[in-house]
Amino acid sequence: MREDDLDTVRRIFRIAFATFVNASDKENFYLDRECVSTRWHADPEAAIVAERAGDLVGSNFVAVWGSFGFFGPLTIKPELWDRGIAQHLLARTVEMFDERGVRDSGLFTFPHSTKHVNLYQKFGYWPRFLTSVMVKPIVAAGAGWTGYSTLSGPRKAEARRACRELTDSIHPGLDVTCEIEAVDAQGLGETVLLWDGDRLDGFSVCFCGVGTEGGRDNCYVKFAASRPGQDLFRRLLAATEAMAGAGGLLKMEAGVNTSRTQAYRTMLDAGFRAQTQGVAMTRKNEIVFNRPDVYVADDWR
């Protein structure tokens, strides 16, 4: 994908999803959220397109979090659905995971769509637990936290190292520092750091407001993780809410795989309620880090 492809990719993305959900205003669907240029700028080599007779007709985005990867949104022009174009994009996507040394990979898709589930099964992805995308109104409250954007260069490097150590303890090789750096470099939001002295107890990578994956008045938690324990995860959610409230945002949005039982229950107790849900599919039907003892919020969209 080239930079001059982004407008076309964005339009196909909006019309494809609007068509699938039967939205009335397809041209303005998801208009306050940006999921195309932000992902391209984060990793241009991980964004691919499909062309037909010289015209761009579809695209996919690959995200590599160290040893784990996921992909999407994968979108095709609606008038060209069911022509095998998505399969060509998926074949290249799986190759990219292998080329980059990704051991485990997954995706988020519509649980009610047998067409989508069957397509991904052809490439070795199997449906597992539901992922609940949850929202809650923000009630700004006092909670101690540190913003990654406020740190000096050396302290940012130390924070990234601490984040890698935390995620590696959850799943060997898991590393989301690319997301932290992308949010910081593009000014898309903030990464909330929860310290206990020199030890990092948790962090959350957040997209905030219009022009990001969050959208108007919204704090979208791309990834959040804490050390084990409901109290620590609850404190991380509260710190993230305090950051969002200080920024004038009105709502928090975060996904959690329902197999992460304790994290899911903690979010419910904190006032999050399901807005929509998808199904997580993993290559070779691996569990990855979807376990009851894992305190992680994400949704692989």
Domains of the chain: 3-102 (3.40.630.30), 135-277+287-297 (3.40.630.30)
Phi, psi of 35 (to 5 degrees): -120, 5
Which pTM value belongs to this model? 0.96
pLDDT digits (tens, 9 = 90+) for 98-147: 999 999 999 999 999 999 999 999 999 999 999 999 999 999 776 789 99
Q: What gap in Å lies between CA 169 and CA 226, rounded to an integer?
A: 10
Per-residue pLDDT at 40: 97
Let me know: does 295 contact 263? Beta carbons within 8 Å: yes
- Which residue type, as a one-letter code, is found at position 63? A
Low-confidence ranges of the chain (pLDDT < 70): 142
SS3 258: coil
Cα distances from 55 to residues 58, 64, 77, 298, 301, in angstroms, run 9, 28, 11, 34, 26
**Widest pairwise Cα distance in the chain:** 59
Per-residue pLDDT at 22: 87
Per-residue pLDDT at 141: 72
Q: What gap in Å lies between CA 250 and CA 273, rounded to an integer?
A: 15
- The C-alpha R_g of the chain, in whole angstroms, comes to 18
Let me know: does 87 contact 116? Beta carbons within 8 Å: no
Per-residue pLDDT at 140: 72
Distance of CA 160 to the CA centre of its chain: 18
State how beta strands 215-226 and 296-297 pair: antiparallel
